[in-house]
Amino acid sequence: MINVLGCIVNRHNPWLVIVAVLICGAGSWVTARLVRRAFATHGMQRAGWQFLAATTAAVAIWCTHFVAMLGYEPGVPVTFDPVLTIVSLLIALVGSFLGIFVACSGWTRATPAIGGALVGLAIALMHYTGMTAYRVEGIVMWNRPYLVVSIVFSVVFGALAFDQAARKPGAANIGGSVIGTRAQVATVAGLLATAIATLHFIGMCAFGIEPLAIDSHVANPAALEALALAVAGMAFIIAGAGLVSYLLDDSVRAESVEHLRTMALSDMLTGLPNRAGFNERLDTEVARTAAHGGKLALVGIDLNRFKDINDLRGHHAGDEVLRILALRFKSLVREDEFVARVGGDEFVALRRFSQRETLDDFLNRLETALFRPIRYDDWEVNSGASMGVAIYPDDATSKTVLINNADLAMYRAKADLTRSVCFYEPKMDETARARRSLAADLRDALSRGQLSVHYQVQTSIASGEICGYEALLRWEHPRQGFISPGVFIPLAEENGLILAIGAWVLREACSRAVTWQPPCKVAVNLSAVQFAHADLPSLVAEVLEQTGLPPSRLELELTESTIFADRERSLETLQRIKALGVSLALDDFGTGYSSLDTLRSFPFDKIKLDQSFVSEAESSRQATAIIRAVLALGKSLGIPVLAEGIETQDQFDLLAGEGCDEVQGFLLGRPVPLAQLVASGKLSLSGSPVSAAAAAAFAAGEVG
């Protein structure tokens, strides 16, 4: 080692040695980064990084050698053979390409080390070819031990460098240690620089000259230094180009990753964070609140009447409403505040706070944004929203429970028309558990015979005769008694049970009605979920065929909101039902949409006036006016009108005087089991097999 250092100090220009070392270090560092990228990519990208890495390595190898050679001071005239000099450069290029290609090939676990050894061998071959191109006036002598050692060092350190480059960050490396990416690059660069430097400087110690012409003219040192600096400058430019390409790719990759991350965490329609973005932010805010104290409010937001906007104005209008609300949210949020869209018309908001006034201010700003009218084209909408608030850690100590409690509070706000904001309360859990328990009981109610059909009479005003019965579903819970349809029907719709229950009601009503004397109509209600998801015409045709009920005796009732989700499909469905000979009734007319276009476009045979107008008719002039308008509309369109909810004689007389066709209500008869109608004499059963079975069931007390 002392001999090597002495050789460097005594025979080299120190400034050019420094330049050569800088070239070696910088070139090795850039090569290490490019080789690491080549190992991490595939296909054409890998080929591109292999090309850049090989070019940079060859420049570092050759320029280090050439600059150091120009700094070598043999004391005799010096020239260079141009052909062999160029050959030495080509050896560096070809050897680097071959070594890096083999190292990245992945043929065996040892290929990175083999490729590195090939690069080390190319360094040696390039060096000694370049030394052959070195022309001096003297006798060249070689120290074979130094020569062999230089080659061995170059091959070994080259193999170690590329084996290290092939390892993944965090894996065990040299000495069994675990290092990160930056340290790994530095290690690879150091090993490669050692391979280049040891080869050159040990090899130069193996090189000796016996001058033949002591007084001969020596080459101009200033010219050699200028040439060395020019070569060094080109080396730094090429290495810099490799580094810049790496950094540019790194920057583009980082920008692409960030862009993809932003897209993955953002809602494409509104630009707000989406559910994934919300979950990420919630994790951060919960951790921050737990670490630094304070409280975190989670606000669940659900728009009111948003479905009406989509149904009446189209989905493009609904999308525009969401975009406008998103712009309002973006303009109102401040530091420590966050709003995201997590569903169709569902938003969530987060706010860290220590004073309740801070949260109240945030909720007030959200409420203002949600309830301020929205203008779109030539119409104005005021959707409003229901907001449920749960607070961490007061109401929950985990993210899942916090979200669930905010949802419970939001559903409470939606059910309470007097409040738009509702805070979570522990008793809401009890309500939710009771609802889930009731849904579980409803799932088994049909198989356990707890569901039954009651019938309410429908009467013609003109003749006073019974013209039909409406089939109404009832549920007698074994512990809670009769459950209101207003409670269990929405529950069945939410849980997907309405399809099986609705089919059972239709089949039950038709099989009973076929035995009636006189043969009155039976009216069966259709759920919106049942209408949207089931192949209703096929079900109706199948039930009529199986029960033998004439189609003219079946009337299906549906509300206008049922058909608004998909008007074209709804029209096709209703036309297929009409083609069977079944009649259709528009239920709850006067509430909801009450569009005249619906009566014009859809084949309804009857209009059912909602009972809310009947109940207010005696005290409200507006209700009376609406009743008259609906009756006049029915007469002009040739569609009979049935009024629901008749409870007093005055109501009956009012409707009779206004020309109503049919009525239904407690005044005329409450919904009762079929057995009770038979017992009262209002209905008798025919002598058909079905009726005999039904009569036997009535006698045994099994029905109703």
Contact 457, 669 (CB under 8 A): yes
Across 675-698, average pLDDT:
63
Give 279-330 as a DSSP string: HHHHHHHHHHHHHH-SEEEEEEEEESSHHHHHHHH-HHHHHHHHHHHHHHHH
- Say if residue 527's pLDDT is above 70: yes
- Per residue in 478-524, pLDDT (tens digit) is 888 888 888 888 888 877 788 889 999 999 999 999 999 899 999 99
- Say if residue 77's pLDDT is above 80: no
- Say if residue 238's pLDDT is above 90: no
pLDDT of residue 245: 60
pLDDT of residue 78: 65
Q: What whole-number percentage of the chain has pLDDT above 90?
A: 19
Residue 703's SS3 state is: coil
pLDDT band at residue 2, thresholds of 50, 70 and 90? Answer: very low
> What's the CATH code, domain 438-604+671-700?
3.20.20.450
Asked if the 275-425 domain carries CATH number 3.30.70.270, the reply is yes
pLDDT of residue 691: 39
> CB count, 10 Å around CB of 621?
9
pLDDT of residue 345: 86
Instruction: Return the residue matching tokens 């070598």.
Output: 72
pLDDT of residue 507: 93
pLDDT of residue 204: 76
- Say if residue 678's pLDDT is above 50: yes
**What would the two tokens of residue 152 be?**
């061995």
Instruction: Return the residue matching tokens 């600096």.
Output: 229
* Long-range CB pairs of 675-682, under 8 A, 24+ apart, other chains included: 675/703, 675/704, 676/704, 677/455, 677/469, 682/457, 682/466
In the chain, where the domains are located? 2-254, 275-425, 438-604+671-700, 608-667
Helix or strand holding residue 508 (H, E): helix 498-513
Rg (CA), the chain: 45
**CA nearest to 31, candidates 177, 141, 196, 155:** 196
Which residues fall within 8 angstroms of residue 694, CB to CB, at 6 or more apart?
512, 515, 674, 685, 703
Distance separating alpha carbons of residues 339 and 327, to the nearest angstrom: 11
pLDDT of residue 408: 86
pLDDT band at residue 387, thresholds of 50, 70 and 90? Answer: very high
Distance separating alpha carbons of residues 120 and 339, to the nearest angstrom: 59
Instruction: Answer yes or no: same fold for 275-425 and 438-604+671-700.
Output: no
- Say if residue 72's pLDDT is above 70: no
pLDDT of residue 312: 66
pLDDT of residue 349: 93
Distance separating alpha carbons of residues 636 and 626, to the nearest angstrom: 15
pLDDT of residue 640: 93
Judged by average pLDDT, the poorest of 67-76, 146-155, 667-676 is 67-76
Judged by average pLDDT, the poorest of 71-75, 176-180, 390-394, 631-635 is 176-180
Contact 93, 55 (CB under 8 A): yes
- Per residue in 122-173, pLDDT (tens digit) is 888 888 887 777 666 667 677 788 888 888 998 899 889 888 888 876 554 5
- Per residue in 530-580, pLDDT (tens digit) is 877 668 899 999 999 999 999 999 999 988 777 765 677 788 888 899 999
pLDDT of residue 226: 46
Across 318-337, average pLDDT:
88
Q: What is the mean pLDDT of the chain?
A: 80
- Per residue in 425-453, pLDDT (tens digit) is 887 767 667 777 888 888 888 888 899 99
Question: Whole-angstrom distance between the N-terminal and C-terminal Cα of the chain?
Answer: 108
- Per residue in 242-298, pLDDT (tens digit) is 555 655 555 555 555 555 656 666 788 888 888 888 898 999 999 999 888 889 999
pLDDT of residue 452: 92
pLDDT of residue 534: 65
Judged by average pLDDT, the poorest of 88-102, 148-162, 227-241, 598-612 is 227-241
pLDDT of residue 689: 39
Which residues fall within 8 angstroms of residue 645, CB to CB, at 6 or more apart?
610, 611, 612, 614, 615, 664, 665
pLDDT band at residue 96, thresholds of 50, 70 and 90? Answer: confident
pLDDT of residue 231: 58
